Structure 1
Amino acid sequence: MYDNGGVQRIAEEIARLLDASVTLEDRAFQLLAYGAQSDDIDAVRQESILRRRASPEVRAHFESYGIATATGPVRIPGIHGMRGRICVPLRHGGVTYGYLWLLDSGTITDERLAAIAPLVDRAAAMLAMEARGRHVPLADLFSADPARRAAAGEAIGTRVDGPVCALAVRTGAAGAGSLFVGALRTLPRGVLIDPSLDEPVLPVLAPAAHAPQAARILRDQHGTAAGIGGPRDDVEEAWESWREALLALRVAEHVERHAPIADWPELGIFRFLARLPRRDLAALAAESAALRSAGPELARTVEAYLDHAGHVQETAAALGVHRQTLYYRLGRAEELTGLDLARGEDRLLLHLSLKAAALTGPPRPGEPGGRGQAQ
């Protein structure tokens, strides 16, 4: 892990050498350090220092200049309320870990920027060191092979203690895990990721107490949905939580009520349904096929009625319809399905079928997280 005081000293030294105001931020635009030689400041710089991070609008503006992939300084012209800037990407091993920002007074030449290159390299190396401390072979830890799990558990050591939860974050594209490097400093202590897998799902291990926060942060960075597995006391049992996280992710992508982040212990009947083989799930969903083919309103009405345990007044109020309208729709549902909603077993079958149907269709369109952190 890097010494944050060391990063602060680097920022102050660069400010002294260039006689300019300096800020140093991570890939998520979170302020790490700053140095000032004068009162040379603008509203954007002031807000970044006070709030410890740039606003989404400012981040989007800067990113439009290609700073995430630039290999050298990028000069960004000023606009209303914001002075011109120089962005120096903090790159190490071909990866951008953060940004050094300088207010451009017109006196910072390319030669002067070259003179601070060793300090820039040191800052980048410090950020890379912390990021690597969070990278672990989770593919082995989540393996079904006990030997691989044991070896991975030893490699992780005491970096995370139980109880732990596994997280599955849908990144939207294979190999996108490397994009999450910028999120590492914003994650709670003890959260580990494996961005090396060429898969569209990022595996994560987190202390159980921090799992919901980690899921929100990672989903907001580049994800569209996330699943959180149940807690396990032993790290070597985290593979079971990983399987639950994958199932929870599936629920998050199909069931609006549990989107965009589904927590396994809170999924109720979907914990059972998500475990069913797809063929069995499809067979169960088929029991309500005739009802669903009559239109979404009728199916939604019946599901609401069953969700309210057959209570007509509560269901009518929830749907905003008259009770006679509800009775008509329920009668129509019985005609279509051949089931008797006065019989408990028929109600149970239809209720489960409607829930199962949600998992058999295509995933709901995912809402990507905020572009502000997209690098």
Structure 2
Amino acid sequence: MPPSHDDPGSPLLLDVLRVVGGGIARRLTPDSREDVPVGRVTILDPLEPELAAGDILLAVGVDARADAFAALRSAADEAGVAALVVGVGDPRGVAGAESSLAGAPDGGPGVYLRAPWVSWSDTAAAFRMALRGARTQLEAPETGIELGDLDAVAELIAARVRGSVTIEDLDSQVLAYSSTGGDVDARRREAILRRRVPPERVRELLRSGFLQWLSSTTEVVHRPAGEGEPERLVIAVRAAGEMIGSIWVADLRGDVEEASAALRDSANLAVPHLLYASALRAGRLHDATAAVHELLSGEVPPAEAASRAGLTADAAAGVLRIGLADGTRLAGARTRLAERLGALAGHYGCRVSTIADAGEVTAVLSGFRDIDAAGTGLWSMAQSLGDGPGSREMPLVIGVGEAAPSLHTLAASAESAAAAFAALRWEGRSGAARLDEVAEGAALHHIHRLLRGAQPPVATPVDRLRAHDAEHGSDLTRTLDEYLAAFGNVTATAAALNYHPNSLRYRLNRIQEISGIRLDDPDSRLLAQLQLRLMPPA
């Protein structure tokens, strides 16, 4: 039996999709029903398929264009599955998936196409969070507060504890706060204005062990005033035992014990609202990310994607490509980078939206006054990022794209930013650069990509030398590389390798005997340099 509409634990598919947003998956079957109850999100195991009524089924590895998909959809329909989420692997296959479904018989569960830039693990996490958030809408206690209205929750709790309340997420972002009188302590004021607890303050709380203590207890924590620290009551908000946020009370106007009891009793009021608001924010973030991908790929009209990404379609724009100089993933540094980009965008009067790809960040900036202002602003922002806080500990590589008159021509800016970024990486440099400033590195990197995996049809002198080194444990290939890099200057090569010039001349003779290379022939030298620099061993 499908989940009942009267079951308070079974939200409708349309409620779940509303929370997910359009950035994770889009509907391929426009006539399918969405007013069906949902019970769980599950992943298909083709060897042991377990299809149940009310499932949102993630069909990993099943191509909507394949013949097997029709059989799966029929079985899912018979089982009462609420929705099927599929992929096509190659984004160019989307049109094929749409045409195959257009000829399919009516009825059956709705089919949704996973965005090609969203992994299956992220898709599963997003749908599960959305289901959890939608379910809380049905389970929320009767308070007269619309689900997700955390400001109203903060006001209600503030009245009960007789103090000023802020609600924070696990990243110390201020999600909501109650109104307060004129006498507000500096720490609360700064956190509210920033909508985030200042990073230096978070570090202090971590060093003191306060945040660790808060995360380990279910009780209200009272921190008395003293040594410049204002008084606070704090409690962790938990769902199924897992901490999902915290409530902070300042400016207490009553008895501490009574306020602590009221806070303890009120904390559960925030649980459904915090879960639902978190799921909605995640959905909006995914939708904005999808919109930026669509802008860069030209899949949808810029005006439509720009509104979802929070950008300005018809104003001058540009792209920055950002990553760490050592090639590692930005990971935890992405949050700080996003904050820094947001602050710089505010300073230069533009808007920014970012996406992460392969551990790097692409930032789209729009809203500049004109194309000249865009060019100046992009360069100034890149330099500020490269010279900003933490740049010595974590040097950045920043490719600066050419300024575009509007988002309609953004693709060229994205391409030039990516090429400049790759050239900086190729040259082993950090900092910011425009494409014309790293033209040689960009050209070499481009040739390297064209030659990737290519091998000459016959063994070359470099191939023979590499084979000799592998068999005998010698390093004659390195000697040849240094010699060619020094333009055949024996003195300079000997100094670089710490050899006597006569020893180097002996090694160069051995290299010619073993490999057959003619060091006095320009073509022979050119081929050797191409292989040594651009074609790694197979």
What TM-score comes out, normalization by structure 2 length?
0.40
Q: Which residue of 2 aligns with 1:364?
A: none
Report the alpha carbon displacement of residue 251 of structure 1 after superposing the two structures with TM: 7.6
Aligned equivalent of 1:239, options 378, 395, 411: 411
Q: Residue 193 of structure 1: SS of its match in structure 2?
A: strand
Partners of 1:120 and 1:247 in 2: CA distance: 42
| Structure 2, unaligned runs of 5 or more | 1-149, 188-195, 222-231, 250-255, 346-350, 366-377
Q: Which residue of 2 aligns with 1:338?
A: 516
Q: Which residue of 1 aligns with 2:484?
A: 306
Report the alpha carbon displacement of residue 332 of structure 1 after superposing the two structures with TM: 3.6
- Go from structure 1 to structure 2 and tell me whether the alpha carbon gap of 1:172 and 1:260 turns closer, same or farther (over 3 Å shift): same
Partners of 1:64 and 1:32 in 2: CA distance: 21
> Residue by residue, what CA displacement relative to the aligned partner does 1:277-311 show, whole Å, maximum 9, x if unpaired?
645x4339974333333258433333333333333
Report the alpha carbon displacement of residue 131 of structure 1 after superposing the two structures with TM: 4.8
- Structure 2 residue identity aligned to 1:333: I
Partners of 2:429 and 2:273 in 1: CA distance: 47
Q: Which residue of 2 aligns with 1:152?
A: 302
| Structure 1, unaligned runs of 5 or more | 1-6, 41-47, 68-72, 78-82, 91-95, 362-375
Q: CA RMSD in A?
A: 6.4
Q: Which residue of 2 aligns with 1:372?
A: none
Partners of 2:492 and 2:314 in 1: CA distance: 47
Q: Residue 142 of structure 1: SS of its match in structure 2?
A: helix
Partners of 1:152 and 1:285 in 2: CA distance: 50
> Residue by residue, what CA displacement relative to the aligned partner does 1:322-346 show, whole Å, maximum 9, x if unpaired?
4344434443433344222333332
| Residue 357 (structure 1) aligned with residue 357 (structure 2) | no
Report the alpha carbon displacement of residue 273 of structure 1 after superposing the two structures with TM: 1.4
| Residue 257 (structure 1) aligned with residue 428 (structure 2) | yes
Q: Which residue of 2 aligns with 1:187?
A: 341
Partners of 1:56 and 1:292 in 2: CA distance: 55
Partners of 1:238 and 1:286 in 2: CA distance: 45
> Residue by residue, what CA displacement relative to the aligned partner does 1:209-246 show, whole Å, maximum 9, x if unpaired?
345887999xx9xxxx9884753535444434555666
Report the alpha carbon displacement of residue 272 of structure 1 after superposing the two structures with TM: 3.2
Asked if structure 2 preserves the Cα contact closer than 8 Å seen for 1:168 and 1:201, the reply is no
Asked if structure 1 preserves the Cα contact closer than 8 Å seen for 2:235 and 2:264, the reply is no
Report the alpha carbon displacement of residue 276 of structure 1 after superposing the two structures with TM: 1.5
Partners of 1:348 and 1:115 in 2: CA distance: 73
Q: Residue 167 of structure 1: SS of its match in structure 2?
A: strand
Count of paired positions: 313
> Identity of aligned pairs, percent?
22
Q: Residue 137 of structure 1: SS of its match in structure 2?
A: helix
Q: Residue 476 of structure 2: SS of its match in structure 1?
A: helix
Q: Which residue of 2 aligns with 1:290?
A: 464
More relative contact order, 1 or 2 (CA 8 Å, 6+ apart): 1
Asked if structure 2 preserves the Cα contact closer than 8 Å seen for 1:228 and 1:249, the reply is yes
Q: Which residue of 1 aligns with 2:526?
A: 348
Asked if structure 2 preserves the Cα contact closer than 8 Å seen for 1:251 and 1:274, the reply is no
Partners of 1:286 and 1:64 in 2: CA distance: 62
Partners of 1:31 and 1:352 in 2: CA distance: 55
Larger Rg: 2
Partners of 1:302 and 1:273 in 2: CA distance: 21
Report the alpha carbon displacement of residue 202 of structure 1 after superposing the two structures with TM: 6.8
